[in-house]
Structure 1
Amino acid sequence: MKKEQALAARLHPRLRDWFFASFPGFTHAQLLCVPAVLNRESILLTSPTGSGKTLAGFLGVFDSVLRELESNGLKPGVRCIYISPLRALAYDIEKNLRGPITGMGLENELRIHLRTGDTPASERTKFRNKPSHFLVTTPESLAILLAQQSYAQHLAHTKFVIVDELHSFAGNKRGADLSISLERLQMLRGQSNLCRVGLSATAAPLDLLAQFLVGKNRHCRVAEARIEKEQIVDVFSPIRRDPYPPSGYTGVRLYAELSQLIRSRQSVIVFTNVRSAAEQIGLRLREQLPELADAIEIHHASLDRSVRLEVEDRLKSGELRAVVCSTSLELGIDIGAVDLVVMVATPKGVSRAIQRIGRSGHSLNKNSHGILVATNVNDLVEATVTAKLVRERALDPIKILDKPFDVVAQHIVGMVALAPASVDSIYQLITRARPFHDLTRKEFDRILHYLEGGGKALAQQYRGVFGKISVSDDGTVSLAHPRVAREFLVNIGTIVSEGFVDVMLKRRRLGSVEEGFIKGLQIGDLFVLGGRVVRLIDTGVQEAFVERADGQLPTIPRWNAAKMPLTSGVARAVRQLRADLAQQLRRETNDSLCVDWLVEHYQISLANAQAIVEQFRAQLAVSDVPTGDSMLIELYRDDDFSHYFFHALIGRSANDALSRIVAWRMKNRSGGNALVTIDDSGLLLTLRRFQELTLEDWRLCFEREGAEEDLRLALRGSELVKWQFRGVAQTGLMVPRNYPGHQRARKQMHWSTETIFR
């Protein structure tokens, strides 16, 4: 109580009056965060969803702005930048900020600018001429603003930066990009340190993420708010007691159960792991629930912005009974009407599961409720351990991406697009960002050399084409030509262009699908987008024209969305369950005792436990239960082929690397190629019968020595390397995605990348 009174006394009276008229009191998250922001201390706040953490970041900002307004008047210029990982979240925060501003009667004094890739040119011009005090943006749009003097001058007054969902940035290139942008913002600010506020519901490890937020040799307070409401997580499987149901049975039961949940709840979000599944499930639910069809929508990143915003607004207002989405509604959006989250297929990690479950009961006085749906026994085991880890809040640790050179190259051009700078000052700025703290001067000089002419292989003949910068004798870096700045502004960002075609219904853009999908269609073919069946009637340049075809049988689009890999924490927990249950089954002949043990230890239903035990018992009868202690290899032969399955529950990404090493070594021993199939649980090698190896030969294929070199040889010239090179070449500004005034055709980008790669 004393802490609440003390904090209330520190707030500006106008802010204090609005707050207590709107809320009963401070949450624990706010008591931890607001004093730090008032003191201009950087802070990383980790707090459960629905605990008021976003307002915790903004309360101290509002206090500062009110006091400035009261003392000298509020001059134009940005005071606070809010950075979001998703455009949907940025849009949501921009709307939510208007509540306190209106509540305090500051509509005429405080302005908000929402800046994303969707922002109209008229709004951008308005901000350039009359800057707002609050800027709500994404990492990509922030980098664009920092590279133009007409915008950057407005950012020099920034006192606060709030990075929401910090964990979503730390392990990827978008985060590396953001970390340098924050250092450039600090450079504009001068000697006075920015107050950086990082918010996350699933941050781990905290000390490392605090370093990521503030950079090298700066203090950051770390605060962990207590959990003030219950998070309920259940496991459901349509397979019941039989682990091997007849074909089609699980699908029929899945849709029947989902329909019943939607009927019985106020509003439900159904998460899938890929966009094609969202389209398929959304369409089937509309068929199952014709009376609610208009209140069931689909939401994913390939849908047009207007479609997405309409769905978000209807969801927030309580109009919708269900939204089926992929990952697009996963982070931070305030959707208080939702009272249940259903996850069809496990989300492959504890932190992602917690984020998704937190979309329900997204207010202080409501519990969050999530259901993990498993459609086969392997999924059921994964869902069972995921639910247990969620209850224990055993978060997935995040690993910061280490010094991606293409991001450095992009920022060097961005910095000198604003003004020439010395080599030393650029190097010092970049290495203050945590992902680049160990970037060596030799590595940095190589990046400079690359930017001067495309690197050693290209500079001799094509310096004029690939050269972005010039370095003078005194070490000053400047642009090689004024056109570089114009080209740079339309090629900023680390998100690789994926080659999608716009789908147009009359004059409205419905969304986009893969080029490859459209190429496989004929005029008159039917497919699904936005949960509605449409008929292809014509195609143009990067456009496909459709008409509605309600009630027709569609072809579901196969989105180019990579499946998410299993996290190491969940994989470890699955291996532990396997080992413990296998030990029980070897010791007990009475399966009911093993079922009881599963029910007690993992809090699952009797039917789910029976299905798991029956499958494990069958596995022991014909083979063994794979655990982490040894490598189980199972061999199945048909007329022409031998199929080796290697049980390695280490996740899809690790198995991808492992399979390439093993297949390369197998080829060197027996000749010929192997057909490789991977998933989270292991890898399948399909060989011709003459290629079969002995157990001792297989042992040699898994030797640790020389693994890195064999992986490098296996990858040489592979499509994977070409695809990765395509992304690096785009981010590193070697292959432009766009030219000023128009977008490059996908075929042109592919041709350019292929030519350079060869």
Structure 2
Amino acid sequence: MNQFADVWFHNQGWEPHKFQRDAWKSIAKGKSGLLNAPTGFGKTFAIWFGVLAHYYEDSAYQKRKAKARQTKLHALWITPLRALSKEIYKATNQVSADLELDYKIELRTGDTSLSQRQKQRKSPPQALITTPESVHLLLASKGATDYFSQLEFIVIDEWHELLGSKRGVLVELALSRIKAINPRLKIWGISATIGNLEQAQEILLGVNHSGVMVRADLKKQIKIETVLPDSLEKFPWAGHLGIRLLDKVIDIVNSHKSTLIFTNTRSQSEIWYQQIIMHYPEFAGILAIHHGSLSDEVRLWVEDALHEGRLKAVVCTSSLDLGVDFRPVDCVIQVGSPKGVARFLQRAGRSGHRPHETSYIYYVPTNSLEIIEGDSLKYAVKEQIIEQRIPYIRSFDVLIQYLMTLAVGDGFMADEIFTEVSTTHCFASLSRKEFDECLSMLIHGGKSLSAYDDFHRLVLDDGRYKVESRKLAMRHRLSIGAIVSDAMMKVKFMSGKYLGSIEESFISKLNTGDVFWFSGRQLELLHVRNMEVVVRPTTKSKGVVPSWMGGRFSISPDLGVAIRHSFKSIHQSRQVSKEVSFLRPLFKEQEKRSGLPREDELLVEYVSTKYGYHLFVYPFDGKLVHEGMAQVLAYRLGKIKPATFSIASNEYGFELLSATKYEMDDVQIKNLLSPQGLHQDITAGINVQEMARRRFRDIAGIAGLIFQGYPGKAMKAKHLQANAGLFFSVFEDYDPDNLLLREAYDEVFDFQLEEGRMQLAFERIANHAIILAFPKQLTPFSFPIFSESFREKYSNEDWQSRLELLKLQLEGKIE
């Protein structure tokens, strides 16, 4: 029984789901747990009414509340996105208003004013909805221990989203501290389905936990439709077909009430917005754009207009992926490969965001070969193949930042914090020697930086480590967090109106008077001052679209499995999907010119053209893995006969191009693709040191070795890189066992080179039959990869017409 829920649900005319009642019962018994339920079935209420019932009805808590002289924080709700925080805030406040409760809920995010934050510290509400970074800011305040002393609940929303990032490590560390302050603490996670749900629960609640898993036995109906072009291009190239399907996309938008058009990158969203407005001017005013680099004002306006049903469509990125409930949205369009099954499902769930409503998602391939992913996605969803989220371990940069956070707040005792930190998944293998090394970097700069006063940050006062310098404390509070990106520059009109932020690396390539598309507008660059880009609207016809660093991500291993499975049905003559059926002419052309692999076969092509000798390999393992594999093969070929290679790759395969001819046979290919000695060849064949040097910049920023700058006066990216590079060189020369240096190399192998995935790919290929083909010309499979390198070669606008000419030659339409 939960009287608050019963009354409120009755007034809404709703009947609670079984999973909601299960959650309320578990919370009433004082349990912690993880809740897993489909989008749109009321996960928030499943936890929230349990929290409310505890506040008003738990007798032990009533006694503690009566003893306390002032209101103390009762519940902390942590979300990964500000938009989601606002959504939770609206929903929970509505309950308090409907039931006339005196349970006060407030928001605390990066948008919350300084005065409001100070007020929340002195006189906290009953519940605070916030982000991982804001929780660490609270821990960096004096009196943090007292502030959290009566906290009964921490709820981590969209836990799967935080899990595979350093922000998840921030959550783990905050939980370890608050659990120590208040052992009665009840922790609840809310998560979508992921491949390692049990591990996600263990990381959240700790090893040997006694928490519960509440899973909804409800299936969300998802209708997936692939948008096919009118004719099939047998020689496709990336980024070409997407816009060609614009008319079909608009037909879908017009047949629905409200549509979200998801793209994978911010630059792609700008292109799609621009194209729609250009070709369909009637969409002005009812079409909007939403991505993470736009100003809060713009994004808030879009979110409110979506809620109120004033927009026909919004072109967006992952900024609208999570939890946000836009009731009018009844259709989602995914432009290009979603790169992962979980992401595709998450986006599908933005439409039909109500119990038992069907989610409609249309998949729009950006080139012919991507059409196969429509078949793969349907298979993966049907078979419930969903990615795991790989948690970070041994993130020493986050640990150093956390120790500084505690020192800026109430100070800490080393033994106590070592014990707490060792209970987290991230630092379960942390030795006392390593912990002390992290500590020594804060006390005197460690082995190599002790001569510099700037790195003497902590003092020992009565057994507690503290920060005495107010300047250091302020700089640290400004640097809390684990989100890293290129230095961002503010884009403003001359009037001072702020449009959003853009990466410095993009702006540095532009000259005064150049035109670029941003925030759905065509803008002319007037001048750059400090970290501000001053622009004005323009009608000049040519504009470049910003590219953001965040755009590089590869297909997941699980989507790779599903794509390779689709190749099974390519060879079947009946009962095939409409995608496979549509692609038949392309596959026939591929088979005629070269070969067509099955699920357990690997196709390798060796082609000679006027550009040189091309080795094409098709493992279907994703662009990032392919880049690493190509560099390993280049190194191995170079040992046979020295040569210079250029490398190109896409999600399906990679190319090595050289002026040097090699003898290719099955034995040679088997040796080149052998898993034997892979780690050594990666280390020798790839400039891992340079990759680690770049990676180190982010690590140094998180650990506080380099100061990123004050608000509005951020340091230039090249200065940050130079400063970080200096530390990197010092550690390499004088402190080669430095934990942060080791972390940089580990992250390169684990996340950039994805060495684990590469090893699995090489091992899988060792058991595959090899199809070695020597086509006379480029093939339908090789042409898209070739076009990637061709684009690099001819970076001016002429590359498109050159490529079109080459395609017509391959099709035999011209000599």
Pair 1:104-2:99 in alignment: yes
> Deviations for 1:239-291, whole angstroms, at most 9, x for unmatched residues?
54554589998456411011111222110000011111101101111223322
State the Cα deviation string for residues 62-100 of structure 1 (Å, max 9, x = none).
112233798867942211111111111112211222211
**Secondary structure of the structure 1 residue equivalent to 2:621:** coil
Aligned residues of 1:146 and 1:185 also touching (Cα < 8 A): no
Of the three residues 117, 122, 131, the one matched with 1:124 is 117
**Residues 492, 533 of structure 2: 8 Å contact kept:** yes
Displacement of 1:238 in angstroms is: 1.9
1:437 aligns with 2:415: no
Q: Deviations over 1:414-435 (max 9, x none)?
A: 2233334333222211111122
Question: CA–CA distance in 2 between the matches of 1:175 and 1:188?
Answer: 20
In structure 2, the residue matched to 1:609 is: 580
Tell whether 2:71 aligns with 1:76: yes
Q: Distance in 2 between matches of 1:45 and 1:686?
A: 51
Contact persistence 2:375–2:566 (CA under 8 A): no
Alignment of 1:118-267 (within 5 A): 118-151=111-144, 153-189=146-182, 191-192=183-184, 194-238=185-229, 240-241=231-232, 243-244=234-235, 250-251=241-242, 253-267=244-258
Aligned equivalent of 1:29: 19
Choose the corresponding residue for 1:51, options 38, 41, 49: 41
The yes-or-no answer on 1:502 pairing with 2:490 is yes
Tell me the distance in 2 between the aligned counterparts of 1:756 and 1:693: 45
1:499–1:514 contact (8 Å) kept in structure 2:
yes
| 1:542-557 superposed matches below 5 A | 542-549=531-538, 552-557=541-546
In structure 2, the CA distance between the partners of 1:236 and 1:152, relative to structure 1 (3 Å rule), is: farther
Does residue 11 (structure 1) correspond to residue 6 (structure 2)? The answer is no
**Between 711-720 and 154-163, the greater mean CA deviation after superposition:** 711-720
So what's the TM-score if we normalise by structure 1? 0.90
Deviation at 1:487? 2.3
Matches of 1:380 and 1:546 in 2, distance apart?
A: 39
Q: Aligned in 2, Cα 1:349/1:227: closer, same or farther, shift over 3 Å?
A: same
Moved more, 569-578 or 653-662: 653-662
Going from structure 1 to structure 2, the CA distance change for 1:747 and 1:242 (only over 3 Å counts) comes to: closer
In the comparison of the two structures, how many residue pairs are matched?
A: 723
Q: Does the 8 Å contact 2:261/2:316 carry over to 1?
A: yes
**What do the CA deviations read for 1:2-47 (whole angstroms, capped 9, x no partner)?**
xxxxx3xx434xx532332124110233123221122221111111
Task: Pick one of 283, 302, 313 that aligns with 2:304.
Answer: 313
How far is the alpha carbon of 1:513 from its aligned partner? 1.5
Letter in 2 for 1:305: D
**2:609 matched residue in structure 1:** 638
In 1, Cα distance between equivalents of 2:707 and 2:145: 24
Please show how residues 373-384 of structure 1 align to structure 2 within 5 Å. Answer: 373-384=364-375
Q: Letter of the aligned partner of 1:88 in structure 2?
A: A
Contact 2:73 2:125 in 1 (8 A): yes
Q: Shift in Å at residue 486 of structure 1?
A: 2.5
Is the CA contact (8 Å cut-off) linking 2:240 and 2:367 kept in structure 1?
A: no
546-555 vs 423-432, which moves further: 546-555
Does the CA-based 8 Å contact 1:166-1:203 persist in structure 2? Answer: no
Q: Distance in 1 between matches of 2:487 and 2:141?
A: 28
User: 2:485, 2:408 → 1: CA distance?
Assistant: 23
8 A contact 1:626–1:647 mirrored in 2: no
Q: What SS class does the counterpart of residue 435 from structure 1 fall into? A: coil
Deviation, 1:385, is 0.9
Secondary structure in structure 2 of the residue aligned to 1:510 = strand
Kindly provide the CA deviation profile for residues 183-242 of structure 1, in whole angstroms up to 9, marking residues without a partner as x: 1121222x32x2111112223322111101112332221121022542212222225455
- CA separation of 1:162 and 1:237: change in aligned 2, threshold 3 A: same
For the residue of structure 1 that corresponds to 2:552, the secondary structure is: coil
**Please, which of 284, 289, 292 is the counterpart of residue 275 of structure 2?**
284
- Is 1:598 the counterpart of 2:584? The answer is no
Match of residue 703, structure 1, among 670, 674, 679? 674
Aligned equivalent of 1:589: none
Residue 484 of structure 1 aligns with which residue? 472
Amino acid at match of 1:367: T
In structure 2, the residue matched to 1:590 is none
**Aligned mates of 1:697, 1:478 — CA distance in 2:** 62
Aligned with 1:669 (options 625, 640, 659): 640
1:688 is the counterpart of 2:659: yes
**1:714/1:417 CA distance change after superposition, 3 Å:** farther
CA–CA distance in 2 between the matches of 1:140 and 1:289?
A: 42
CA distance in 1, matches of 2:168, 2:394: 11
Amino acid aligned to 1:65:
Y
1:87 aligns with 2:58: no
> 122-131 or 439-448: which moved more?
439-448
- Asked whether the 8 Å contact 2:234–2:589 carries over to 1, the reply is no
Report what 1:558 is aligned to.
547
Tell whether the 8 Å contact from 2:241 to 2:368 is kept in structure 1 after alignment.
no
Is the contact between residue 243 and residue 376 of structure 1 (CA under 8 Å) also seen in structure 2? no
Between the aligned partners of 2:181 and 2:205, the Cα distance in structure 1 is 16
SS in 2 for 1:685: strand
Secondary structure, counterpart of 2:630 in structure 1: helix
Q: Which moved more, 1:201-210 or 1:50-59?
A: 201-210
Given candidates 369, 379, 385, the residue that maps to 2:376 is 385
Give percent identity, aligned residues only.
Answer: 28
Q: Does the C-alpha gap of structure 1 residues 562 and 453 become closer, same or farther in structure 2, counting only changes over 3 Å? A: farther
> Structure 1's 690 and 203: CA in aligned 2 closer, same or farther, altered over 3 A?
closer
Return the offset for 1:673: 3.6
- Deviations for 1:664-716, whole angstroms, at most 9, x for unmatched residues? 33334322442222332222212222577766455433332322123233444
Change (3 A) 1:667 1:726: farther
Range moving further from structure 2, 48-57 or 360-369: 360-369
Work out whether residues 266 and 321 of structure 1, in 8 Å CA contact, stay in contact via their aligned partners in 2: yes
Asked whether the 8 Å contact 2:706–2:723 carries over to 1, the reply is yes
In the alignment, which of 705, 715, 719 is matched to residue 748 of structure 1? 719
- Which letter maps to 1:511? G
| Equivalence map 1:571-586=2 (5 Å) | 571-582=560-571, 584=572
1:637 Cα deviation after fit = 2.0
The AA in structure 2 aligned to 1:57 is I
Q: CA deviation at 1:59?
A: 0.8
| Alignment match, 1:466 | 455
Distance in 1 (CA, whole Å) between partners of 2:635 and 2:116 is 55
Task: State which of 651, 661, 681 in structure 1 corresponds to 2:622.
Answer: 651
Distance 1:28 1:234 in 2: 31
CA distance in 2 between partners of 1:251 and 1:166 (Å) = 33
Q: 1:79 to 1:476 in 2, by over 3 A?
A: closer
Distance in 1 (alpha carbons) for counterparts of 2:624 and 2:175: 31
Q: Distance in 1 between matches of 2:417 and 2:685?
A: 37
Report Cα offsets for 1:584-615 as digits up to 9, x if no partner.
3xxxxxxxxx2x4213xxxxx3xx33332222
Q: Identify if the C-alpha distance between structure 1 residues 424 and 661 changes in structure 2 by more than 3 Å, giving closer, same or farther.
A: farther
Q: CA deviation at 1:537?
A: 2.2
| In 1: Cα distance, 2:211 partner to 2:707 partner | 38
Does 2:42 correspond to 1:40? Answer: no
Are 2:276 and 2:283, in contact at CA under 8 Å, matched by a contact in 1?
no
Q: 2: CA distance between counterparts of 1:101 and 1:631? A: 60
- How much is the aligned-residue C-alpha RMSD, in angstroms? 2.6
Helix, strand or coil at the partner of 2:319: coil
Instruction: Give a deviation string over 1:366-419, Cα, whole Å, max 9, x none.
Output: 221111111323211122111222234322122222222211221122223333
TM-score, structure 2 length as denominator? 0.84
